[in-house]
């Protein structure tokens, strides 16, 4: 029996170090610690490190997770993946002590996984709802979302002047060190604002 540990973080803002440290404290060897920076609702085929981890595992091995939602935040995703692991004879233990397939029959495991999967999907819905509400409030206060502009009013005037002279997007982009797409977006926005 070999121990493995899988961590997952949704964004670069989250810190995987806490999860990795927990895996090391369990005594899992560094070569058996895997992790992906990807959302919990992502397709399992889009998680290269999880794929590597599962390919290295065999019947009797144990995969540790800080919590089951690290495997998936989707109800169906969680139930399907846990079912596949159980069929392969792979055990799952979570550090939050909610799941330990080495100590319970398959029927009880799947009941617990169903409940945890439902809870994780509901939590994700609430997170998305709160984020949408927060964005709406921020927009109503005039907060602009998206990447900050990398150009100023003088550059916009220069772009429009060159465009009025008949210069092409590519020519303007090369002259100002910008991408053609940025030039096209600026011209389009300025023309729409002038109407």
Tens-digit pLDDT profile for residues 17-62: 888 999 999 999 999 999 998 887 777 778 899 999 999 999 999 9
Here the tokens at position 47 are 């998680």
**Most confident residue range from 85-89, 107-111, 189-193:** 85-89
Q: Cα–Cα distance between 66 and 163 in angstroms, integer?
A: 56
Task: Provide the residue range defining the domain that includes 94.
Answer: 3-124
Q: Report whether 4 contacts 56 (CB < 8 A).
A: yes
> If you count DSSP H runs as helices and E runs as strands, how many of each does the chain have, helices first?
7, 4
Residues 97 and 164 in one domain: no
Residues 75 and 164 in one domain: no
Tens digits of residue pLDDT in 165-189: 999 998 998 888 888 888 998 999 8
Q: Report whether 23 contacts 94 (CB < 8 A).
A: no
pLDDT at 134: 86
Residues 111 and 28 in one domain: yes
How many beta carbons lie within 10 A of that of residue 69, not counting itself? 21
Residues 82 and 120 in one domain: yes
Residues 30 and 116 in one domain: yes
Q: What is the mean pLDDT of the chain?
A: 86
pLDDT at 12: 61
Residues 158 and 103 in one domain: no
Q: Is residue 70 pLDDT above 70, yes or no?
A: yes
Asked if the structure places residue 51 within a domain, the reply is yes
Number of structural domains found in the chain = 2
Residues 84 and 26 in one domain: yes
| Top-confidence residue, 127 or 19 | 19
pTM confidence score: 0.61
């Amino acid at each position: 029996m070999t121990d493995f540990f899988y961590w997952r973080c949704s964004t670069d803002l989250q810190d995987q170090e806490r999860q990795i440290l927990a895996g090391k404290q369990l005594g899992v060897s560094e070569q058996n610690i895997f992790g992906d920076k990807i959302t919990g609702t992502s397709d399992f085929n889009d998680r290269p490190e999880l794929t590597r981890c599962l390919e290295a595992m065999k019947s009797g091995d144990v995969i540790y997770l800080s919590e089951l939602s690290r495997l998936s935040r989707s109800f169906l995703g969680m139930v399907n993946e846990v079912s596949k692991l159980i069929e392969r004879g792979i055990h799952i233990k979570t550090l939050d002590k909610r799941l330990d397939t080495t100590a319970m029959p398959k029927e009880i495991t799947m009941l617990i996984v169903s409940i945890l999967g439902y809870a994780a999907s509901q939590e994700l819905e609430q997170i998305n709802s709160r984020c949408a509400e927060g964005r709406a409030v921020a927009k109503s206060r005039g907060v602009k979302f998206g990447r900050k502009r990398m150009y100023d009013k003088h550059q916009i005037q220069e772009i429009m002047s060159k465009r009025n002279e008949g210069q092409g997007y590519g020519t303007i982009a090369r002259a100002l060190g910008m991408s053609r797409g940025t030039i096209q977006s600026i011209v389009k926005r300025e023309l729409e604002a002038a109407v």
